[in-house]
Amino acid sequence: MWQEDKNRLQRTFRFKDFAEAFAFMTEVALHAEKQNHHPSWSNVWNTVEIQLATHDAGNIVTHKDRVLATKIDEIYVKYQ
């Protein structure tokens, strides 16, 4: 589940391996680009950590972040 902390939505996603984590990140990247809203994230092997905040609103959580978080959740379901 997404957690809001320090003006960021945060969530950790786990996958069976690096290839699956990378495929997930690629799909998220395509949707983020369409929304012109880009996450801060990191990836180590099968784990992807994502943080969302709207930079042009002063690095706070906005509706834009919640919309992208919902889309990311929809993408993640396909990997479960």
Sequence-distant (6+) residues with CB within 8 A of 10 are 2, 3, 4, 49, 50, 51, 52
The enclosing domain of 27 has a CATH number of 3.30.1360.20
pLDDT of residue 9: 98
Please write the tens of the pLDDT for every residue from 35-62.
999 999 999 999 999 999 998 898 999 9
pLDDT of residue 26: 98
Domain that holds residue 17: 3-77
* C-alpha to C-alpha distance for 20 and 23, rounded to whole angstroms: 5
* C-alpha to C-alpha distance for 43 and 50, rounded to whole angstroms: 9
Question: Is 46 within 8 Å of 17 (Cβ atoms)?
Answer: yes
Residues 25-34, mean pLDDT to the nearest whole number: 97
The mean pLDDT of the chain is 96
Per the structure, the count of domains in the chain is 1
User: What SS3 class is residue 63?
Assistant: helix
The label of the residue with tokens 């369409």 reads 34
pLDDT > 90 in the chain, percent:
94
Residues 1-23, mean pLDDT to the nearest whole number: 97
